[in-house]
Structure formats: C-alpha cells, structure tokens
Amino acid sequence: MASLRELSEKRGVRFGCAVSVEALDDPEYVEAVGRECGISVAENASKFGPLCPSQGSHDYSAFDRIVAFAEERGMALRGHALVWHTQTPKWLGEDLPVREILADHIEETVGRYRGRIESWDVVNEAVADDAGMRDTIFLRSLGPDYLEWAFRIAHEADPGCQLVYNDYSIDEVCPKSDRVYELLSDLLGKGVPVHGVGLQAHLELSNPPNMDSVRRNVRRFRDLGLQVLVTEMDVRIPEPFSQEKREEQGRIYEEFVRACVEEGVTRILTWGLTDRYSWIPGFFQGTGEALPLDSKMRTKPAFEGLTRALGESTG
Ligand code: XIL
C-alpha cells in the first residue's frame, strides 16, 4: 500500500509529523516516520528553552539530529517556535534585556539553518482563549508590536523562509480565529513579512469542529494571501477507549484533512505519528490514542481516514 508520503506528494501536498529526539533511538519509530512523512518538525528540540539551556549560548545538538534525520530522507523541515510563552529558557526573566536576548536568539537560530528550513513558526499562541492578546513576558517586555518586530528579524535572517503565525483553537470561525484574522490582516497591511497561518488542530473526539466552518476559515485566511498549514493535528479520545471511538476518530481525521486540502492547504502535520509517543495522555488527563498509528505501530481508522483524504485524486 502507498505511504501517506507518496499519496500526498502525488497531489502536491506534504504530510508529516512532529519528531521527538528521544524517540529517534527507537528503530520502529524511525522506520514508520521515515516511511510516512515528507515533512517534519521538532516536537521540542527547536524551542527557545531547549535550545538555550544557559544564557549566552545555544545547544543545537538535539535539533541537529532531527535536521539530519529529515535531510537524509529528503523530508522538508519546519521550525517551531521562535517566540512562545511556554518552554522559554529557565534563566530568562523580565529583569534581563529580553529584546536583545530574543533578537539574538531569532537571528542566530534562523540564520544557522538558512535555506534548509522551509517554514518557521515565528510567533506561537499570542492570542489568549478569551481572544485578547495573551499576557506574556514578550508582550510585557517588548510591547504590543513584538509580533511585527519578530517577523521582521526572522525575515532578515532567512529571506526565503515562509514565516508563520501558529495557534490552537483557530481551526474554525470563532472569536479567537477572528482575532487572529484581524491581527494578521493588520500585519499584512503594514507590510510585515508574515506568509502563513498554522492551525494546530488539537481536536477532541467529543467536540469536533464544524467542517463547513473550517472551510470558511481556511478560505478567509487564504483570501488575505496567506498560506494555511495544519501544523499539529491530533484527535484525543476520552477513556474508555473503544473501536467505535477509534472509528469516529477516523472520520474526524478524514473530514478535517479533506476539508483543508480541498481548500488549498498543502502542509498537513500531526503532532507525533504513533500513540507510543504522544503528549496527549500527559497533558489531557483521561484522554489518549490521539494519533494515526497505535502504540504497537499498527494502523488505526485514523490512518485509513488520512489515506482516503490525502489519496483522493484532484479530479
Ligand atoms: C508540547 C510537546 O508535545 C510536549 O512534549 C511538551 O512537553 C510541551 O509542548 N502547542 C504547541 C506545541 O505549539 O509546541 C506543544 O508541544 C503542544 C501544544
């Protein structure tokens, strides 16, 4: 059977997943990701904190391992995430010159991989759940123009790279995605080099998005001239797990990915590939089994749903 990589590439789409550096020691994992993925992103290794364990120096060894893994297999790469309020360096505080430190970090990191990373999540999750701007160390230290500032620095460091704003719960039309839409329209109006919006798509079996609304949402961002990417998809199942729920999950994967691809999304990434390695059980207690392969690396209805959605001919 054709892999998700082959099926998607036939129609000009790249499917892939987040890669965890710890899991690269697992040969079954390496085989599965190598087979199915045409694009990858580091699950943690390219975040600010992991890259900057101590002030004034970067440690790129873990991310380099993922970059080498991807390049050996001809996979495209995404970078994630330059400006994010979570997983910042432990030593970083508002008493320090945050602007200089962050500028150095963006310049050095984006510059180091210049020409090798097709897109970077420059700003991640800057909008709060109530659709206001999230109160973060970056907003407090740099002021509300920090997004514009960060995109410009990243663009200078790698002018050919696609620069993305990434967030969760913006998959359909809702107050939070309205806010992101306004934010990005504003940035584009000022000539800021922002090229894409990443829909994280951390979906819930018990509360799936309305697919017509997803389509309208993708369309409105594309009408602004932005690329739309699905950057971190998973569909968490509440316990107890059952085959019936897995089948429902398969339908959500299929319908969501079909809606996005039909509306012109050409990058579909899941947040991991196998339930053997997934952030979901640790972060959303009482849920799990969110990914296309099970913990024994067997395909699930979710995988079959992806196969159908990605394998359809464009007619
Ligand atoms: C998660 C990772 O999967 C975990 O291993 C880590 O402990 C916390 O971060 N949105 C994002 C990702 O943008 O970076 C997060 O990844 C999941 C939610």
Question: Average pLDDT of the chain?
Answer: 97
298 has a pLDDT exceeding 80: yes
124 lines ligand 1 (CB under 6 A): yes
181 Cα: distance to centroid of ligand 1 (angstroms): 23
How many Cβ atoms are within 10 Å of 264's Cβ, its own excluded? 13
223 Cβ contact list (under 8 Å, min separation 6): none
Residue 137 DSSP SS3: helix
Which residue's CA is minimally distant from atom 4 of ligand 1? 279
CB 105 within 8 A of CB 52: yes
279 Cα: distance to centroid of ligand 1 (angstroms): 7
Residue 6 CA to its chain's centroid (Å) = 21
- Average pLDDT in the 76-88 region? 98
pLDDT at 312: 84
The helix or strand, by DSSP H or E, that contains position 27, with its residue range, turns out to be: helix 27-36
pLDDT in tens, 169-191: 999 999 999 999 999 999 999 99
**Of 262, 285, 286, 283, nearest in space to 272 by CA:** 283
Amino acid at 245: K
DSSP output for 225-259: T-EEEEEEEEEEEESSP-HHHHHHHHHHHHHHHHH
pLDDT at 151: 99
CB 286 within 8 A of CB 240: no
In Å, how far are 1, 149, 283 from 29, measured between CA atoms? 19, 38, 22
89 has a pLDDT exceeding 60: yes
**What does the DSSP 8-state code read for residue 22?**
G
1 Cα: distance to centroid of ligand 1 (angstroms): 31
Residue 142: pLDDT band by 50, 70, 90 thresholds? very high
217 has a pLDDT exceeding 50: yes
86 Cα: distance to centroid of ligand 1 (angstroms): 9
- The percentage of the chain sitting over the pLDDT mark of 90, rounded to a whole number, equals 98
Q: Which atom belonging to ligand 1 lies closest to the Cα atom of 271?
A: 3
**Mutation probe of ligand 1 site: the residue of 279, 280, 287, 291 with most atoms within 8 A of C-beta:** 279
- Average pLDDT in the 125-130 region? 98
43 lines ligand 1 (CB under 6 A): yes
- Average pLDDT in the 113-136 region? 98
Cα–Cα distance, 10 to 141 (Å, whole number): 46
Report the DSSP pairing between strands 267-270 and 227-238: parallel
Report the DSSP pairing between strands 227-238 and 287-288: antiparallel
Residue 315: pLDDT band by 50, 70, 90 thresholds? very low
pLDDT at 313: 63
CB 160 within 8 A of CB 193: no
Amino acid at 246: R
pLDDT in tens, 44-71: 999 999 999 999 999 999 999 999 999 9
CB 40 within 8 A of CB 70: yes
CB 102 within 8 A of CB 138: yes
Residue 23 DSSP SS3: helix
Which residue's CA is minimally distant from atom 13 of ligand 1? 124
**Mutation probe of ligand 1 site: the residue of 21, 41, 43, 230 with most atoms within 8 A of C-beta:** 43
Is 312 or 280 the better-scoring residue by pLDDT? Answer: 280
- Average pLDDT in the 93-104 region? 98
pLDDT in tens, 30-45: 999 999 999 999 999 9
22 Cα: distance to centroid of ligand 1 (angstroms): 14
What's this model's pTM, rounded to 2 decimal places? 0.98
- Average pLDDT in the 265-293 region? 98
Chain position carrying tokens 């790469």? 77
- Average pLDDT in the 221-228 region? 98
299 Cα: distance to centroid of ligand 1 (angstroms): 23
Cis peptide before 18 (omega within 30 of 0): no
46 lines ligand 1 (CB under 6 A): no
The helix or strand, by DSSP H or E, that contains position 152, with its residue range, turns out to be: helix 146-157
pLDDT at 53: 96
44 lines ligand 1 (CB under 6 A): yes
Q: Which atom belonging to ligand 1 lies closest to the Cα atom of 47?
A: 14
8 lines ligand 1 (CB under 6 A): no
CB 300 within 8 A of CB 292: yes
Cite the active site residues.
125, 232
pLDDT in tens, 237-250: 999 999 999 999 99
Question: What is the crossing angle of helices 146-157 and 98-112, to 10°?
Answer: 30
Which residue's CA is minimally distant from atom 9 of ligand 1? 44
